[in-house]
């Protein structure tokens, strides 16, 4: 054992090639249980591919990984993880509630549980009035909120959120983060990708990704201190250029 | 009009096509396929129809030996149209037709030659100089071709031999008495509609699942690949059956088609075909990254089915070298089974080979669809 049990996410020399392009290059990622970990990096750094590997949506070309102490190819962990893709990934032909209901059923929740959870989530994402509206009639921001609700329906222990705040207005963005803190207080682990450096301050730890690998990681304060900068954007540039 | 700007659009379209190798391939290949399949399928005449000859004719003794008009007529039948074999027992021969193993029995009566010649000698028409055709009349093209060929054989022989007596052809259908073309056509259209609509619907739905990201989201949940495919199979099986129900209702109410067998059994066949089709749709979706590419598959789904599966004209009318392809297309079996239920009143005891093949197709396609989803293509 290399301490896989201790971490919610543990990868060792993870590699993913897309054609001739190495999207994830010997990635060693360790996310502690109950922490909010931010993967930061420019577009094409390998953040989304990393999440897809961890969610068993694509097969790695090398390396290994564990989620909540089990290999990430183990199907039994699927019920404990929640994945919010970058795209809204909803059924446009279904209503808001029908989407939540469908994903609740897929996770094997009882009807009563789905009803209770959907009431709670609809209130949180502020779509109660739109409950019976077709998704195709919603705005981009509304779809994003619903996408998050579908990810949270089964109260996962480990959350993968791929750019969850893109297209979300500042007020709602704040309520998202408040909700993430609430989930953290319930010992939920969150791995979040973003290219908004200012958002990374909300994370317990952040990892800077470039060319498929981690160039450094630490708490936002540590990273600012190490680079003697005021913003994580400047810190990223310094690390990226080899300080 | 600024042609420079217009040409910029033209160039952009060509660059798009050039960069999309799949579209480029389909653009070149689709017209070739259309021409070949249409050309080949339409160029064929009915051939290789299995027919049994029961020749009870004893011939006519003459000073120059025994003469047999029946043998002369048989020798004048077109061996390309009919693949003939001989039997003595009429009942056994008819049983083979009833079981669908042979298409028709041509029966010459005992005194055929004698009656034909006596009719001539007495200068009167002999009412019992006849050849009986007992066959499957459910496919009008085949019935008409066989009848035409026998009549042509009779005429040629009579002219050659200088016999002026009238020989008639008695048509006593075993199946399909009074069957019209619409009766032949409807079971095929039912199967065709279910196959086409289900394949396309699943193909487009699945490509949309990929492009919208819902498939990825779904695959990250505890649902297994086989559960996804099974869910789709049940849904499209039901949709296919409902579509078949609508088609049949219209066919009965408006066109008054012949339904001898159990309609529910025909529905079962169509539902089975819908399950095969949805699995095929999922498989085809692996070849398309977006809806616009999926739409280009339409000719490849429609044409072979339309032309080769026996919906509009029998497989016996397709050139023999291309006929094996007919047996690689699932609708061929559904069309055959549905037609046999409707027009011949066959039950599961007789249509089981077609049903079995459809089940095998369904199993193979469903397994391949699950494997495709498990592959987790990038």
Cβ-defined contact of B222 to A75 (cutoff 8 Å): yes
Tell me, yes or no, whether B153 and B199 share the same domain: no
> What is the spatial distance between Cα B77 and Cα B319, in angstroms, rounded to a whole number?
19
Work out the pLDDT band at B125, boundaries 50, 70, 90: very low
Query: Which carries the bigger pLDDT value, residue A14 or residue B255?
Result: A14
ipTM for the assembly: 0.90
Angular region, B86: left φ>0, alpha ψ -120 to 50, beta rest: beta
Tell me, yes or no, whether B112 and B79 share the same domain: yes
> What is the spatial distance between Cα B216 and Cα A75, in angstroms, rounded to a whole number?
15
Give the residue numbers spanning the domain of B54.
Answer: 49-171
> What is the spatial distance between Cα A86 and Cα A209, in angstroms, rounded to a whole number?
17
Cβ-defined contact of B219 to A150 (cutoff 8 Å): no
Cβ-defined contact of B218 to A106 (cutoff 8 Å): yes
End position of a domain, from candidates B115, B144, B171: B171
> What is the spatial distance between Cα A182 and Cα A25, in angstroms, rounded to a whole number?
33
Here the CATH number for the domain that contains residue B94 is 3.40.190
Domain borders along chain A are: 4-240
Cβ proximity of A175 and A149 under 8 Å: no
Tell me, yes or no, whether B80 and B222 share the same domain: no
Average pLDDT over residues B77-88: 91
3-state secondary structure of A190: strand
> What is the spatial distance between Cα B58 and Cα B70, in angstroms, rounded to a whole number?
9
Look at chain B and report how many structural domains it folds into: 2
End position of a domain, from candidates B171, B188, B204: B171
Cβ proximity of B346 and B338 under 8 Å: no
Cβ-defined contact of B218 to A58 (cutoff 8 Å): no
Cβ-defined contact of A88 to B222 (cutoff 8 Å): no
**Among B141, B135, B161, B147, which Cα is nearest to B69's?**
B161
Residue of B nearest to A148 (CA): B217
Name the DSSP letter for residue B92: H
> Residue A172 CA to chain centroid, in angstroms?
17
pLDDT by residue, tens only, chain A of 243 residues: 456 677 999 999 999 998 889 999 999 999 999 999 999 988 889 999 999 999 989 989 999 889 998 887 787 889 999 999 988 899 998 999 999 999 999 999 999 999 999 999 999 888 999 999 999 999 888 898 899 999 999 999 999 999 888 777 888 888 888 889 999 999 999 999 987 887 888 999 999 999 999 999 999 999 999 988 888 888 888 888 875
**Residues of A whose CB is below 8 A from B217:** 83, 85, 89, 103, 150
**Residues of A whose CB is below 8 A from B220:** 55-57, 78, 81, 83
Number of other CB atoms surrounding residue B127 within 10 Å? 10
End position of a domain, from candidates B116, B143, B171: B171
Tell me, yes or no, whether B297 and B362 share the same domain: yes
3-state secondary structure of A204: coil
State the average pLDDT for chain B. Answer: 85
Tell me, yes or no, whether B308 and B219 share the same domain: yes
> Residue A16 CA to chain centroid, in angstroms?
19
Cβ-defined contact of B213 to A87 (cutoff 8 Å): yes
Upper half-sphere CA count for residue B213 (Cβ side, 13 Å):
14
Work out the pLDDT band at B43, boundaries 50, 70, 90: low
Q: Name the residue among A75, A85, A150 with its Cβ closest to that of B216.
A: A85
Q: Above pLDDT 90, what percent of chain B?
A: 26
Tell me, yes or no, whether B224 and B366 share the same domain: yes
Tell me, yes or no, whether B215 and B129 share the same domain: no
Cα distance from B232 to chain A (closest Cα, Å)?
14
Upper half-sphere CA count for residue B259 (Cβ side, 13 Å):
18
To test the contact with chain B by mutation, choose from A56, A87, A140, A154 the residue with the greatest count of B C-beta atoms within 10 A, namely: A87
Angle at B309 between CA B307 and CA B311, to 5 degrees: 80
Cβ-defined contact of A58 to B217 (cutoff 8 Å): no
3-state secondary structure of A179: helix
Average pLDDT over residues B307-325: 81
To test the contact with chain B by mutation, choose from A17, A20, A89, A147 the residue with the greatest count of B C-beta atoms within 10 A, namely: A89
Tell me, yes or no, whether B162 and B186 share the same domain: no
**Among B217, B236, B332, B224, which Cα is nearest to B279's?**
B236
Residue-level pLDDT at B122: 47
Cβ-defined contact of B212 to A90 (cutoff 8 Å): yes
Which range, of A201-215, B81-95, B274-288, averages the lowest pLDDT?
B274-288
Tell me, yes or no, whether B112 and B221 share the same domain: no
> What is the spatial distance between Cα A66 and Cα B223, in angstroms, rounded to a whole number?
20
Work out the pLDDT band at B126, boundaries 50, 70, 90: very low
Cβ-defined contact of B217 to A79 (cutoff 8 Å): no
Residue-level pLDDT at B377: 56
**β-bridge partners, A9:** A31, A67
Cβ-defined contact of B216 to A81 (cutoff 8 Å): no
Residue-level pLDDT at B120: 55
Tell me, yes or no, whether B140 and B193 share the same domain: no
Q: Name the residue among B212, B223, B224 with its Cβ closest to that of A89.
A: B212
Highest mean predicted confidence (pLDDT) among A160-164, B14-18, B139-143, B259-263: A160-164
pLDDT at position B230 over 80: yes
Residue of B nearest to A154 (CA): B221
Cβ-defined contact of B214 to A91 (cutoff 8 Å): yes
The fold adopted by the segment(s) A4-240 is Rossmann fold (3.40.50)
Cβ proximity of B190 and B246 under 8 Å: no
pLDDT at position B176 over 90: no
Cβ-defined contact of B376 to A90 (cutoff 8 Å): no
Residue-level pLDDT at B375: 80
pLDDT at position B214 over 90: yes
**Residues of B whose CB is below 8 A from A52:** 216
Tokens of A19: 């054609």
Tokens of A63: 């390396």
Q: Is residue B16 part of a domain?
A: no
Residue-level pLDDT at B123: 46
Q: Is residue B318 part of a domain?
A: yes
Distances (CA, A) of A49 to A161, B10, B220, B254: 12, 36, 14, 57
Residue-level pLDDT at A2: 54
Angular region, B323: left φ>0, alpha ψ -120 to 50, beta rest: alpha
Q: Name the residue among A57, A85, A107 with its Cβ closest to that of B376.
A: A57
Residue of B nearest to A75 (CA): B222
Tell me, yes or no, whether B308 and B167 share the same domain: no
Beta-carbon contacts below 8 Å between A and B: 52
Tell me, yes or no, whether B137 and B190 share the same domain: no
How does pLDDT run across B322-361, given as a tens digit for each residue? Answer: 888 899 999 999 999 998 998 889 999 999 999 999 999 9
Q: Name the residue among A18, A56, A89 with its Cβ closest to that of B378.
A: A18
């Amino acid at each position: 054992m290399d301490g896989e049990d201790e971490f919610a996410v543990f990868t060792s020399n993870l590699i993913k090639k897309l054609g001739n392009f190495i999207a994830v290059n010997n990635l060693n990622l360790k996310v502690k249980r109950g922490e909010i970990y931010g993967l930061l990096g420019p577009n094409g750094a390998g953040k989304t591919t990393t999440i897809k590997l961890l969610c068993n949506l694509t097969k790695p070309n090398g390396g290994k990984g564990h989620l909540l102490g089990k290999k990430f190819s183990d199907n039994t962990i699927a019920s404990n993880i929640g994945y919010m893709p970058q795209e809204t990934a909803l059924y446009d032909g279904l209503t808001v509630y029908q989407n939540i209901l469908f994903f609740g059923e897929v996770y094997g929740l009882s009807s009563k549980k789905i009803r209770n959870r959907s009431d709670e989530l609809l209130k949180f994402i502020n779509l109660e009035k739109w409950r019976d509206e077709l998704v195709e009639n919603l705005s981009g921001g509304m779809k994003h909120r619903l996408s998050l609700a579908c990810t949270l329906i089964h109260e996962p222990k480990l959350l993968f959120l791929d750019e969850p705040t893109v297209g979300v207005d500042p007020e709602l963005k704040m309520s998202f983060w408040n909700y993430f803190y609430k989930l953290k207080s319930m010992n939920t682990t969150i791995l979040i990708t973003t290219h908004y450096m200012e958002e990374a301050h909300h994370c317990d730890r952040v990892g800077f990704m470039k060319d498929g690998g981690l160039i450094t990681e630490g708490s936002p304060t540590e990273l600012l201190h190490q680079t003697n900068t005021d913003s994580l954007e400047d810190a990223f540039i310094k690390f990226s250029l080899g300080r | 009009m600024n042609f420079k700007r217009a040409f910029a659009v033209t160039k952009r379209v060509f660059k798009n096509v050039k960069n999309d190798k799949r579209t480029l391939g389909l653009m070149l290949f689709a017209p070739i396929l259309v021409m070949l399949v249409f050309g080949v399928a339409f160029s064929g005449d009915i051939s290789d129809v299995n027919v049994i000859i029961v020749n009870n004719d004893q011939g006519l003794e003459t000073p120059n030996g025994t003469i047999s008009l029946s043998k002369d007529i048989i020798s004048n039948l077109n061996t390309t149209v009919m693949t003939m074999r001989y039997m003595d027992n009429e009942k056994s021969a008819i049983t083979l037709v009833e079981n669908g193993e042979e298409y028709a029995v041509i029966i010459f009566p005992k005194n055929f030659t004698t009656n034909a010649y006596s009719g001539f000698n007495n200068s009167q028409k002999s009412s019992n100089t006849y050849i009986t055709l007992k066959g499957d009349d459910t496919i009008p093209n085949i019935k008409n071709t066989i009848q035409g060929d026998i009549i042509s054989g009779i005429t040629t022989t009579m002219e050659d031999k200088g016999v002026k007596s009238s020989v008639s052809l008695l048509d006593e259908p075993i199946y399909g008495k009074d069957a019209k073309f619409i009766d032949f056509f409807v079971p095929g259209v039912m199967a065709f509609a279910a196959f086409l609509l289900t394949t396309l619907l699943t193909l487009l739905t699945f490509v949309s699942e990929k492009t919208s990201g819902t498939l990825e989201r779904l695959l990250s949940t505890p649902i297994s690949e086989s559960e996804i495919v099974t869910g789709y199979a049940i849904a499209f099986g039901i949709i296919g059956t409902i579509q078949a129900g609508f088609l049949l209702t219209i066919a009965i109410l408006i066109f008054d088609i012949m339904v001898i067998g159990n309609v529910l059994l025909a529905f079962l066949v169509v539902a089975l075909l819908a399950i095969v089709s949805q699995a095929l749709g999922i498989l085809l979706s692996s070849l398309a990254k977006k809806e616009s590419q999926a739409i280009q598959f339409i000719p490849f789904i429609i044409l072979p089915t339309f032309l080769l599966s026996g919906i509009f004209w029998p497989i016996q009318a397709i050139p023999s070298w291309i006929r094996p392809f007919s047996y690689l297309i699932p609708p061929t079996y559904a069309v055959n089974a549905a037609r046999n239920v409707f027009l011949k009143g066959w039950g599961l005891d007789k249509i089981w080979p077609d049903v079995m093949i459809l089940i095998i197709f369904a199993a193979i396609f469903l397994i391949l669809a699950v494997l495709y989803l498990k592959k987790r293509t990038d």
